[in-house]
Structure 1
Amino acid sequence: MSSWAVATLRPLRASCLRRASRGGLLSLHVGIPSGRIGIQALVVLRPAQRRHRSDKSDAPSPPGPQQSPITFSRFARRAFGVSLRNLALAVSPRGIRSAYRDSPFVTGTTIVMLVLLVGVSFVAIRAYIRTFYNAELSIYPPPIANTLRRAIYYTKIKPDPELALRLYRKAMEQCTELGLDPFSDEVLGIRIYVSSWLERLCSYTSALDVLESVLGDCRRWVDVMEQAVKDGKVDDAGRYKAAATAPAPEAKAQAGGDAPSDAPSEGVAETETLWRKRERLLAKAIGTSVKLGELYSDEHVLDPDKSHAHLLWAVETSLREFQRRKTQGLRPGEQGWLTPEQLGGSMESLGRDYERRSQFQLAIPLFFQALRLCESPCHRAVIMNNLSAAFAQHPIYSAGQQPDAAGGLLGGQPPGPAMPATRKECLEAALNWARNAHEHARDVRGDDRTTECDEACAVALCNWADVAAMLGKPQLARAKYDECIDLSRKMDFPQGVRQAQEGLARLTSTAPERI
Structure 2
Amino acid sequence: MSSTIPTLVCARRCASAFKSHPPQHLLPNPSSLRPPTSRALHASKPSLLVRPSLLRRTPQWPSHCRPLTTRAAARNLFRAHPIAIPIATIFILFGLGSFVYGNYIYRTYIVGQFTAYPEPVAMKLRRAIYYHNTDANPQLAVKFYRQALEEAAQCGMDPFSNEIIGVKIQLAFLMENIGQLGRAAEVLEVVFRDCLAWTEDPERGAKEERRAQRTRVLAKMVGVSVKLGELYADDRIKNEEAAEERLVWAVTTVLKEKERREREGVREGEGAWMSAEEVGGALESLADHYESSNQHFLAAPLYLQAVSLVPTTSCHAITLMNNLSISLALQNPPPTAGIPSPSGASQINDAKTWARKALAVDRALTKADTRTEECDQGCAVTMINLGEFAEMEGNLAEARRWWGEGVELSRRVGFQEGVIRGREALARADKRK
TM-score range, shorter chain: 0.7 to 0.9
* Alignment correspondent of 1:113: 91
Q: CA deviation at 1:147?
A: 1.9
Name the one with the larger helix percent.
Answer: 2
* Alignment correspondent of 1:71: none
* Alignment correspondent of 1:335: 271
Q: Distance in 2 between matches of 1:290 and 1:21?
A: 99
Aligned mate of 2:76, from 76, 98, 107: 98
Q: CA deviation at 1:94?
A: 4.5
Q: CA deviation at 1:125?
A: 3.2
* CA distances 1:93-124 after superposition (whole Å, capped 9, x unpaired): 54553343223233333333334434444443
TM-score, normalised to structure 1, is: 0.67
Alignment of 1:158-177 (within 5 A): 158-177=135-154
Q: Distance in 1 between matches of 2:248 and 2:333?
A: 24
CA RMSD of aligned residues (A): 2.9
Q: Relative to structure 2, which stretch is displaced further, 138-147 or 419-428?
A: 419-428
Partners of 2:138 and 2:174 within 8 A in 1: no
Partners of 2:172 and 2:188 within 8 A in 1: yes
1:442 to 2:378 alignment: no
Partners of 1:488 and 1:497 within 8 A in 2: yes
* Alignment correspondent of 1:380: 317
1:283 to 2:283 alignment: no
Partners of 1:273 and 1:332 within 8 A in 2: no
Q: Relative to structure 2, which stretch is displaced further, 454-463 or 328-337?
A: 328-337
Q: Distance in 1 between matches of 2:41 and 2:78?
A: 64
Q: CA deviation at 1:164?
A: 1.6
Q: Distance in 2 between matches of 1:126 and 1:20?
A: 63
What is the one-letter code of the residue matched to 2:405? E
What is the one-letter code of the residue matched to 1:471? E
Structure 2 residues without counterparts, runs of 5 or longer = 1-34, 48-67
Q: CA deviation at 1:456?
A: 1.3
* CA distances 1:223-268 after superposition (whole Å, capped 9, x unpaired): 2x13x58xxxx8xxx33xxxxxxxxxxxxxxxxxxxxxxxxxxxxx
Partners of 1:420 and 1:426 within 8 A in 2: no
1:127 to 2:105 alignment: yes
Between Structure 1 and Structure 2, how many residues are aligned? 376
Partner SS, residue 269 of structure 2? coil
CA distance 1:102–1:214, change in 2 (3 Å): same
* Alignment correspondent of 2:256: 320
TM-score, normalised to structure 2, is: 0.78
Partners of 1:367 and 1:386 within 8 A in 2: yes
1:359 to 2:295 alignment: yes
Partners of 1:377 and 1:441 within 8 A in 2: no
* Alignment correspondent of 2:159: 182
* Alignment correspondent of 2:395: 473
What is the one-letter code of the residue matched to 1:425? S
* Alignment correspondent of 1:311: 247
Q: Relative to structure 2, which stretch is displaced further, 482-491 or 207-216?
A: 482-491
Q: Distance in 1 between matches of 2:253 and 2:80?
A: 78
What is the one-letter code of the residue matched to 1:383? L
Q: CA deviation at 1:201?
A: 2.6
* Alignment correspondent of 1:499: 421
Q: CA deviation at 1:401?
A: 7.7
Q: Distance in 2 between matches of 1:462 and 1:333?
A: 50
Instruction: Determine what percentage of the aligned residue pairs are the same residue.
Output: 34
* CA distances 1:110-142 after superposition (whole Å, capped 9, x unpaired): 3333344344444433333332123x4211122
What is the one-letter code of the residue matched to 1:124? G
Q: Distance in 2 between matches of 1:387 and 1:336?
A: 29
Q: Distance in 2 between matches of 1:496 and 1:372?
A: 27
Q: Distance in 1 between matches of 2:116 and 2:287?
A: 38
Name the one with the larger strand percent.
Answer: 1
* Alignment correspondent of 1:43: none
Q: Distance in 1 between matches of 2:352 and 2:342?
A: 16
Alignment of 1:481-492 (within 5 A): 481-492=403-414
Partner SS, residue 310 of structure 1? helix
1:146 to 2:123 alignment: yes
Q: CA deviation at 1:219?
A: 1.1
Partner SS, residue 83 of structure 2? helix
* Alignment correspondent of 1:246: none
Q: Distance in 1 between matches of 2:119 and 2:419?
A: 52
* CA distances 1:39-71 after superposition (whole Å, capped 9, x unpaired): xxxxxxxxxxxxxxxxxxxxxxxxxxxxxxxxx
* Alignment correspondent of 1:395: 332
Partners of 2:335 and 2:341 within 8 A in 1: no
CA distance 1:479–1:278, change in 2 (3 Å): same
Q: CA deviation at 1:217?
A: 0.8
Partners of 1:442 and 1:453 within 8 A in 2: no
1:369 to 2:305 alignment: yes
